[in-house]
Amino acid sequence: MADFDAMKDKVVGKVKETAGKATGNEKLEAKGKAQGLKGEAKDKIDDAKRKAKDTTDDLTEKAADKFNDTVDAYKDNH
């Protein structure tokens, strides 16, 4: 859902910015730019969350593998 929200903010922001430029409405243009930047920020946050989750999943998997290897080695020696 966050991807949709980010895209919506970018598209609506661009429309507002363009409409503001076309009509000479600086306030609308500024609001459009701000909304577009908000969409970009949402994208960056989602990317960071995704990367953090991937890293956490990787580390969890590596730790589980190491634990299992240690248990297996212990069993083999006893």
| pTM for the whole structure | 0.71
Q: How much of the chain exceeds pLDDT 70, in percent? A: 97
Chain mean pLDDT for the chain: 95
Among residues 43, 41, 35, 34, the alpha carbon closest in space to that of 12 is found at 35
Q: Name every residue whose Cβ is closer than 8 Å to that of residue 15 and which is 6 or more positions away in sequence.
A: 32
Q: How much of the chain exceeds pLDDT 90, in percent? A: 90
Instruction: State the pLDDT confidence band at 37, using cuts at 50, 70 and 90.
Output: very high
